[in-house]
């Protein structure tokens, strides 16, 4: 899997910098990908993709993007600034990118680079500043001497480059370094040798977090979860044990929603005002109405829609089904590919038999119906409004409105036979 396709809070990490970029209304967005990375090209569309093959470093990556931008850079075209982002920096804010663009234009710098002071500067390129505070050069970690390694201000990666000069900077790059690659960071030294100004802007290290290992991916997930939980609570949501609740980036929680401990929200979940999500529930692709109650130990799968004041209780699974206002399924049930009317009660152990081995089939249950415990509804089947299905029934035909339906074997009692059976079994043993 390409690194930038690994998910953070339920979606690929590369979508985050693209989202941060969108409010700036860029004239063009080009995503540089490696060979055989069709999955990345698909997820970033409608942004253009340019294939870097072979990968020869960050400078070569920008060269690849330049070919896609041919004719659109100032003075020939409308693009005045080239903003270089990295697909593994999910915490960038649109406001930060706007600030960087404004700062380059304010200072007239040919190159502006983001910097940070991380707790461990080890793997990052070091900023060497001039006496006037300008950025003199960036020394990659692999090429840094002892004095340079002691520098705490390091390269955050994000660059803004004056578009009309980018081509000449890239033409001057060489690969005479420890990695044998074309470093984009060398454009700073190139610009300075031409007598052009370069500037560094220090940003919070958390916003420039990059991801290169599975351990760093886990750390990024933890940081994103902290941000999402804080945002949810600031908007009026109660998380009784925040550190145990896991959210997706698109989770929408209404005011006065209460989320109990150990709840997971997969992508595509919306929860209405005043709903309660009880412990150990898992929701994905689901919509929950105002005042509804889910769990504990409930699972809502994609396509589940619970309308206002619906109750879905412990060990109930709902998939591609709509439960109308006030409907209840409180225990040990599976409701799939179904429509359940308002105020209907689904008894414990009820299942909709929605799959015949080849096709998914629908079950329709009307309003105000009562489905007795341990019932199997064999789809396709319709239960009419106000109907009652007796406990233990296997329903294979439609049930008319207001009918009582009983579909189970007849009970037969044989007095005294239990004693006889036990005696026979003892003799065999």
- Give residue 132's pLDDT: 85
Rounded (to 5) percent helix, strand, coil in the chain: 25, 25, 45
Burial bucket for residue 34 (CB in 10 Å: 0-12, 13-18, 19+): middle
Kindly give, in sequence order, each residue whose CB lies less than 8 Å from that of residue 134, ignoring residues fewer than 6 positions away. 109, 192, 197, 198, 199
Mean pLDDT value across residues 13-34: 95
Residue 120 reports pLDDT greater than 90:
no
Strand-strand pairing, 154-162 and 81-84 = antiparallel
Closest to 12 measured CA to CA, from 248, 356, 357, 277: 248
Mean pLDDT value across residues 318-339: 98
- Give residue 67's pLDDT: 86
Write out pLDDT tens, residues 32-76: 999 999 999 999 999 999 999 998 999 999 999 988 887 677 666
- Give residue 75's pLDDT: 63
Catalytic sites, residue numbers: 331
Global pTM reads 0.89
Chain centre to alpha carbon of residue 410: 52
């Amino acid at each position: 899997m390409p690194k930038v396709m690994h998910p953070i809070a339920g979606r690929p990490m590369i979508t985050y910098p693209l989202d941060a970029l969108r409010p700036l209304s860029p004239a063009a967005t080009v995503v540089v990908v490696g060979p055989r990375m069709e999955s990345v090209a698909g997820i970033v569309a409608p942004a253009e993709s340019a294939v870097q093959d072979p990968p020869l470093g960050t400078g070569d990556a920008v060269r690849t993007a330049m070919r896609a931008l041919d004719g659109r850079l100032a003075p020939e075209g409308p693009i005045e600034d080239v903003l270089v982002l990295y697909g593994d920096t999910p915490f960038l804010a649109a406001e930060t990118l706007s600030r960087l663009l404004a700062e380059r234009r304010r200072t007239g710098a040919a190159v502006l680079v983001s910097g940070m002071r991380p707790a461990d500067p080890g793997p990052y390129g070091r900023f060497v500043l001039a006496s006037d505070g300008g950025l003199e050069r960036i020394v990659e970690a692999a090429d840094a001497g002892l004095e340079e390694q002691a520098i705490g201000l390091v390269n955050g990666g994000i660059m803004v480059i004056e578009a009309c000069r980018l081509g000449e900077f890239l033409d001057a790059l060489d690969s005479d370094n420890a990695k044998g690659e074309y470093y984009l960071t060398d454009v700073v030294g190139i610009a300075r040798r031409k007598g052009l100004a370069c500037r560094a802007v220090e940003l919070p290290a958390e916003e420039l977090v990059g991801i290169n290992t599975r351990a760093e991916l886990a750390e990024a997930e933890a940081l994103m979860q902290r941000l999402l939980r804080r945002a949810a609570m600031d908007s009026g949501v109660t998380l009784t044990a925040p550190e145990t609740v896991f959210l997706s980036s698109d989770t929408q929680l209404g005011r006065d929603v209460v989320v109990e401990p150990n709840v997971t929200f997969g992508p595509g979940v919306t929860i209405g005002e005043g709903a309660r999500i009880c412990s150990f529930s898992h929701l994905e692709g689901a919509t929950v109405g105002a005042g509804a109650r889910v769990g504990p130990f409930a699972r809502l799968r994609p396509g589940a829609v619970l309308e206002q004041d619906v109750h879905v209780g412990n060990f109930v699974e709902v998939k591609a089904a709509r439960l109308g206002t006030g409907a209840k399924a409180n225990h040990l049930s599976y409701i799939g590919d179904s429509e359940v009317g308002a105020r209907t009660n689904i008894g414990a152990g009820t299942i909709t038999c929605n799959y015949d081995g080849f096709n998914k089939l629908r079950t329709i249950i009307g309003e105000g119906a009562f489905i007795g415990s341990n019932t199997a509804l064999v789809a396709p089947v319709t239960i009419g409004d106000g109907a009652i299905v007796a406990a233990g029934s296997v329903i294979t035909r439609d049930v008319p409105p207001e009918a009582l339906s009983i579909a189970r074997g007849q009970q037969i009692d044989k007095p005294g036979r239990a004693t006889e059976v036990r005696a026979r079994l003892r003799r065999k043993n």
